[in-house]
Chain A
């Protein structure tokens, strides 16, 4: 049995100024998880309608979506969400294995910085041909 301690209610947003790095990591991991699972269902739904009939529908659906600037911007957001969830997930796996327990805050900040850097670096790729 692992011991627990009273960490308060993280859902109480009014306490955000008191949140530690670990609590922010918890919130961001939950938020990105909800976004990713929502996207998974949406992704399969869109692909289902696109592959329902002939290949032309598939091509039109994809080019139609990619022709919208908002979709390109949302894709950058999706990448950022996925990258953070992966990096923070690796951090959680390491914590579960007892590795780097003393550097949990630093590894969270590193996850944030790396996510930001990768998202910014991906912008030219995602926006190519959007204008």
Chain B
């Protein structure tokens, strides 16, 4: 299979997680878009409806998992793209650190927003 090229390290955990989150995101991203643009028109969305949706444990949990999976997939994808472009050494470590911090901050802030939407606080 000499023609089979991949830039990923196949033995790596990040390689596997990128694909597992991809499978999860195929469903959740399509669902998110469909629900908030086609079932409910974005222009007609009001806080009461958002709060009602986020008040359901199943929906809330799925949105938080969606956030975590999307953040990991996105940040890891950016990291892989930059590694693929040739960054190494200190540059690679700094990029990894900055992206990890950005990802953690996004998840924390996203969960704060989700909690506020659910009306828990």
Q: Among B1, B2, B43, which residue has its beta carbon within 8 angstroms of that of A63?
A: B43
User: How many residues of B are counted as interface, with CB atoms below 8 angstroms from the partner's CB atoms?
Assistant: 43
Which residues of the partner chain A approach B45 to less than 8 Å between Cβ atoms?
62
Main secondary structure of the interface of A (DSSP, over half): helix
One of B78, B85, B113 near A44 (C-beta < 8 A):
B113
Given the known inter-chain contacts A86-B26, A90-B26, A125-B38, please indicate yes or no for A51 contacting B113, CB distance below 8 A: yes
- CB within 8 Å of A: which B6-31 residues: 6, 10, 19, 22-23, 25-26, 29-30
B43 CB contacts on chain A under 8 angstroms: 62-63, 66-67, 128-129
Interface residues of A in 25-79 (CB under 8 A from B): 30, 33-34, 36-37, 40-41, 44, 47-48, 51, 55, 58-59, 62-63, 66-67, 75, 79
Which A residues are in CB contact (< 8 Å) with B5?
Answer: 2, 4-5, 7
Q: Is B109 an interface residue (CB 8 A)?
A: yes
CA–CA, A40 and B76, complex, Å:
14
Q: What are 7 A-B contacts defined by CB distance under 8 Å?
A: A11-B85, A30-B81, A44-B106, A44-B109, A51-B116, A93-B22, A129-B43
A86-B6 in contact given A55-B48, A66-B42 (Cβ < 8 Å): no
Q: Say whether A89 faces chain B, with CB atoms less than 8 Å apart.
A: yes
Q: Which of A44, A93, A125, A126 meets B110, CB within 8 Å?
A: A44
A47 to chain B, nearest CB (A): 5
User: How many A residues face the partner with a CB closer than 8 A?
Assistant: 40
B1 to chain A, nearest CB (A): 7
The residue in B23, B25, B26, B113 that gathers the most chain A C-beta atoms within 10 A of its C-beta is: B113
Residue positions of B touching A, CB distance < 8 A: 1-6, 10, 19, 22-23, 25-26, 29-30, 33, 37-38, 41-43, 45-48, 50-51, 67, 70-71, 74-75, 77-78, 81, 85, 102, 106, 109-110, 112-113, 116-117
Q: How far is the CB of A79 from chain B (nearest CB, A)?
A: 6
Judge whether B81 and A33 touch: CB under 8 Å: yes
Taking the closest CB of chain B, its distance from the CB of A11, in whole angstroms, is 7
Q: Which residues of A contact B (CB under 8 A)?
A: 2-5, 7, 11, 30, 33-34, 36-37, 40-41, 44, 47-48, 51, 55, 58-59, 62-63, 66-67, 75, 79, 82, 86, 89-90, 92-93, 95-96, 101, 122, 125-126, 128-129
